Amino acid sequence: MIIKVEVRNPAARVVAIFATLIVSALLTYAMLLNFLAGVLTDQRANIRTEWLAAGIAYVPNSARLNARLAETEMTQAERDLSAVESCAQRAVNLSPWDYEHRLLMATVKEAKGDRDGAEQSLREALALAPNYPDVHWRLANLLLREGKLGKSVSEFRAAASSNPKLLPGTLDLLWRVSAGNLAALQAVAPTDPNSQAILAQFLLKEKRAADAITIFSGIDRNALVGLPQSPAFIDSLVSQGHIEEARGLWIGMISGDYAQPGHPLPLVWNGSFESDASKNLAQFDWRIIRNEYAVPSIDSSVARTGSRSLRIEFTGRDTTRLDEQVKQIVVVHPGARYRLECYARTEQLNTPEGPRIVVMGLSSTEIVKSAPISPGSSDWHPIAIDFTAPANTRAIVITIRRVPQFSYDDPTSGIVWFDDFLLTEQGK
């Protein structure tokens, strides 16, 4: 749409042109002032204090410019806090709905030693931006410095609920300030699975394993399986020597089964290979990897019981070595007697010496081994070995090994299947 205004009187034309020029000049001046304020308040630029002060002389009603001057002067070694406060107050008065100016005022007031005034400014900022985690975080830290631990907890919790990345630092801060007060940490951690897992991991790091296990075991199992903290938590338990507790939690996550009086958990997990292994949680499951001599896998077409078994197909390469390509960590009682049983089947196994079932310590020290599996083809047949868990040993490794006796021996080829591993404690 085009609006045409015709001015026939020459004098009126002059007035109209003059008015247009004045309006244009004013708009241009306003644009220049706005541009100047924008340049001086650009956080990417390092602007000198005197330039900011000169800018305010031209644009005294710019809240952003007053705030930038106050921020810059706060970084100076020699500063006039009263002048800085006046500048920050002008920014607040000029833009009363901007919560960041209240945060700036809180910083200035605390620098002056006025913590009550700083708290009031932070609460005013919180009223303007109740969902901003940084505001809750600032207020919580101030309350903590004031010795108001109880009041700070709710603000820390609000900050961590909005921004989970703040939770680890919050836990560490409260742990130090409260001298390891578990109740304070539980109060500050949100109840979602991720936050509770972070809390459990933190307590474990601080050698509070019992509390960590209690919190971790209270998290929904389905949520735990998908949390990135879960594998790390199990690994940390093992590294601290809590391997039995780690395995109990692991089985609970994997299957939902927990040890009950009269119904202990199986010592060998998934002994019949009927369950799929978890990619992220494999600490106490079968570890099955191939090498250049053998290809172990789960076979769904051959089984002694159920529908699956472990299949190891040898590639026919000379000096065949199978060394912990198949293994599982099992928890035992030191000094207890055990019997390990399983079943094996062969098909055209051609070998100078067949593979063995071997029980080792976690340091790879051999405890006991079975006789080698005979060459040829055979149906399912039992294998059993008895052993005593060494003193101070709380875990062993069950593995299948074929280690050459000499630097060279003839290649091994053919297939061996294993099924129905069972470990039973025979007594002390």
Whether residue 213 sits in one domain with residue 174: no
Whether residue 200 sits in one domain with residue 171: no
Q: Is 298 helix (H, G, I), strand (E, B) or coil?
A: strand
Q: Is residue 227 one of the residues assigned to a domain? A: yes
Q: Is residue 203 one of the residues assigned to a domain? A: yes
CA 299 – CA 301 distance, rounded (Å): 6
Which residue range(s) make up the domain with 237? 191-265
pLDDT value of position 84: 79
CA 274 – CA 255 distance, rounded (Å): 12
Q: What percent of the chain has pLDDT over 90?
A: 66
pLDDT value of position 87: 83
Please determine, for residue 307, whether its predicted confidence score (pLDDT) is greater than 70: yes
**Helix H segments across 208-335?**
209-217, 221-226, 229-239, 243-255
Q: What is the pTM of this model?
A: 0.76
Q: Is residue 281 one of the residues assigned to a domain? A: no
- The β-bridge relationship of strands 395-402 and 322-331 is antiparallel
Residues in Cβ contact with 376 at an 8 Å cutoff, skipping those fewer than 6 apart: 346, 348, 349
**Which CATH number is 298's domain given?**
2.60.120.260
Whether residue 130 sits in one domain with residue 206: no
The pLDDT tens digits for 277-287 are: 888 888 999 99
Whether residue 337 sits in one domain with residue 296: yes
- The label of the residue with tokens 């304020």 reads 37
The pLDDT tens digits for 114-153 are: 999 999 999 999 999 999 999 999 999 999 999 999 899 9
Whether residue 242 sits in one domain with residue 227: yes
**Which CATH number is 46's domain given?**
1.25.40.10
CA 197 – CA 228 distance, rounded (Å): 9
Q: Is residue 3 one of the residues assigned to a domain? A: no
Whether residue 137 sits in one domain with residue 107: yes
* Residue 329: pLDDT band with limits 50, 70, 90: very high
- Over the chain, what is the mean pLDDT? 86
Q: What percent of the chain has pLDDT over 70?
A: 84
Neighbouring C-beta atoms of residue 48, cutoff 10 Å: 10
Give the mean pLDDT of 59-77: 72
Whether residue 100 sits in one domain with residue 45: yes
Residues in Cβ contact with 257 at an 8 Å cutoff, skipping those fewer than 6 apart: 251, 265
Please determine, for residue 357, whether its predicted confidence score (pLDDT) is greater than 60: yes
pLDDT value of position 8: 58
Whether residue 250 sits in one domain with residue 301: no
Which of these three, 234, 265, 296, is where a domain ends? 265
pLDDT value of position 121: 93
Q: Is residue 276 one of the residues assigned to a domain? A: no
Neighbouring C-beta atoms of residue 95, cutoff 10 Å: 17
Q: Is residue 5 one of the residues assigned to a domain? A: no
Q: How many CA atoms lie less than 13 Å away from 296 in the CB half-sphere?
A: 22
Neighbouring C-beta atoms of residue 42, cutoff 10 Å: 12
Whether residue 205 sits in one domain with residue 240: yes
Structure tokens at 141: 């830290």
Task: Find out whether 284 and 321 touch, Cβ atoms under 8 Å.
Answer: no
Please determine, for residue 35, whether its predicted confidence score (pLDDT) is greater than 90: no
Give the mean pLDDT of 185-208: 95
Please determine, for residue 63, whether its predicted confidence score (pLDDT) is greater than 80: no
pLDDT value of position 65: 74
Q: Is residue 282 one of the residues assigned to a domain? A: no
Q: Where are the beta strands (DSSP E) in 321-389?
A: 322-331, 337-350, 356-361, 366-369, 376-388
* Residue 12: pLDDT band with limits 50, 70, 90: low
Which of these three, 188, 211, 246, is where a domain ends? 188
Angle in degrees, 0-180, between the axes of helices 81-94 and 63-74, rounded to the nearest 10: 160
Give the mean pLDDT of 379-404: 95
Cα dihedral: 404, 410, 411, 414 (round 10): -100
Whether residue 152 sits in one domain with residue 18: yes
pLDDT value of position 73: 73
Please determine, for residue 243, whether its predicted confidence score (pLDDT) is greater than 90: yes
Neighbouring C-beta atoms of residue 346, cutoff 10 Å: 21
Please determine, for residue 33, whether its predicted confidence score (pLDDT) is greater than 80: no
pLDDT value of position 94: 85
Which of these three, 157, 188, 219, is where a domain ends? 188
Q: Is residue 167 one of the residues assigned to a domain? A: yes
Whether residue 27 sits in one domain with residue 42: yes
Structure tokens at 263: 């119904």
* Residue 255: pLDDT band with limits 50, 70, 90: confident
Whether residue 140 sits in one domain with residue 195: no
Ranges 15-29, 67-81, 306-320: which has the least confidence: 15-29
- How many domains in the chain? 3
